Amino acid sequence: MKKIFIFLTICLSVSLNAHNLIINVMDNSDNTITVRGEFSTGEDAAGAMIRLESLVSGDILFKQRLPAESELIVNIPKEPYQIVLDGGPGHTIIKDGIAPLEGFAEELKEKVTDVNTKLSKPENLNNEWDFLTIFFFTLCLILFALSIYFSNKNTNKILEKIKEV
């Protein structure tokens, strides 16, 4: 029982230290934006990579790591873009870019709309579960039920042995 308690305590302490990456983008009203990265625990995201990626061509328009103060001022690109904050594996956030004061060029907006329309309509998407998915899902449920059954059975045996002593 003591080992189980220690195990649960360790699991809880690990999950309590979990954190998420947060990106704040502010328009400075002078064709620049301020990008700030931090974790939900309040820690700064210094060293995380900031990228501005074109939504038209996919090119990287700007790339730089966050300095110690976790804040960068960046010029707004003239084409539609997205801001990517990459804090390492499992810590990547993508946010739509803010338009410059004069707005994006109309022909670039149309290209982005065309690309997004094509991407949002997959041609051969089947929403039904295939056989393997159903099989493995059922297998997982059966194994989960068996593990609960045998765990309960072994716990009862241990309790009876303890009562005998």
Does residue 165 or residue 72 have the better pLDDT?
A: 72
Going by pLDDT thresholds of 50, 70 and 90, the confidence category of residue 148 is very high
Query: Average of pLDDT values for 40-46?
Result: 82
CA distance 68 to 7: 37
- Per the prediction, the chain carries an average pLDDT of 80
Question: Does pTM top 0.85 for this prediction?
Answer: no
The residue type found at 163 is K
2 is written with which tokens?
Answer: 């003591």
Asked if 86 contacts 49 with a C-beta cutoff of 8 angstroms, the reply is: yes
Give yes or no for residue 157 having a pLDDT over 60.
Answer: yes
Query: pLDDT, tens digit, for every residue of 20-33?
Result: 888 889 999 898 99
Cα 161 from Cα 57, distance rounded (Å): 70
User: Could you count the other beta carbons within 10 Å of the beta carbon of residue 126?
Assistant: 7
Does pLDDT of 115 surpass 60?
Answer: no
Average pLDDT on 12-16 reads: 49
More confident residue, 42 or 119: 42
Q: In this model, does residue 37 exceed pLDDT 80? A: yes
Reduce the secondary structure of 54-110 to three states and give it as a string. ECCCCCEEEEEECCCCCEEEEECCCCCEEEEEECCCCCEEEEECCCCCCCCCHHHHH
Sorting pLDDT into bands at 50, 70 and 90, what band is 165?
Answer: confident
Please, what is the Cα angle at 122 between 110 and 61, to 5 degrees?
Answer: 45
Q: How far apart, in whole angstroms, are the C-alpha atoms of residue 156 and residue 162?
A: 10
